[in-house]
Amino acid sequence: MKRVVITGASSGIGAATAEAFAAAGAQLVLAARGKEALDVVAERCWARGAEVLTVPVDVADADAVAALARAARDWMGGIDVWFSNVGVGVVGRFHEVPIEAHRRVIESNLVGHLNDAHAVLSIFIQQRRGIFINMISVGGFLPAPWAVAYTASKFGLRGMSQALRGELSAYPGIHVCDVYPTFVDTPAIRHAGNYTGGETSVPPGVLDPRTVARAVVRLADRPRPTTAVGAPAGLMSLAQVLAPNLGATAMNAFLGSYFRRAVRTGPTDGNLFAPPADDGAIDGGFRRPDQRRQAAGLAAIAGVAALGGLALLLGRSGRGTRRRRLDDRWR
């Protein structure tokens, strides 16, 4: 029986992963800020036969996370998997979003994950085994204009995991695993802070949270450093090296155009400073039935298009190199 801790378990990917682990026979400790939402998710896990303990925790509070780790270890007799899954966001032009909102994103998305790792790694080292799964997102490779703090947190998480893997290389039984999904249909999109002046939405082909949950559960049996869901991580990393500003510039233009035409709405902090009242849900409600069927195909098309663009970029680079070599021969 796997002994699993999930932070950010009250909705979306966290809730879907809790149910997937419950169906696989795991013992669960579920943590998030909202007790009522945790109880809703726990009921669904109990219905699948799992033993579940819920612990209301704000991961930005290091002492509370340390207490969570101790309680989980004592209740389950150890910890096999810790899924660090908390994520919040705020959308808007950087200078128009209150700095307190940016700070809260960093506290939750980056410092919170640091607190998770700090609390559990001493337990893993004592056990000489354990799996820390770090939920990052495609935003760990590709910068997102109008979500600067979110981008900073996700780039930071990728560096955090790489550094931890280096430190833990002497412990072959301890694994740090990153998960990089593309857009996922969760309530988090509606819960985000919004200072754009327009309603937010998602592109076609968003992932089912359960698809990401299955990838996380597989890591508990077959840990690996990097798992991309919806797009190839290697391609994203290479694109960031070869053209780090091109995608961000294009995205900035697109978002500016989108929000000028979006349904008007007032500014909101969303769930940055308090848990939402309508939590416990897995789906965000953005996918239509036809989008659910087309999601995998759209992801594949996007990957092929990106590869084509990359090949074109490399081809141009190669032609430029050949020209320079020919020019040099005639000098």
Active-site positions read 150
CB 104 within 8 A of CB 61: no
Q: Which of 145, 177, 56, 156 is nearest to 114 (CA)?
A: 156
Bin 288: left if φ > 0, else alpha if -120 < ψ < 50, else beta. beta
Identify the three-state secondary structure at position 56.
strand
Residue given tokens 């141009």 in the structure block: 316
**Encoding tokens for residue 217?**
């559960």
The strands making up 52-56's β-sheet, listed across from edge to edge, are 52-56, 27-32, 3-7, 81-84, 130-135, 174-181, 226-229
Rg over alpha carbons for the chain, rounded to the nearest Å, is 21
Residue given tokens 């089912």 in the structure block: 208
List the Cα angle 106/229/54 in 5-degree steps: 55
Pairwise CA distance, residues 74 & 78, whole Å: 7
Residue 187 φ/ψ, nearest 5 degrees: -65, -15
Q: Which of 68, 177, 168, 184 is nearest to 127 (CA)?
A: 168
CB 42 within 8 A of CB 54: yes
Pairwise CA distance, residues 54 & 31, whole Å: 6
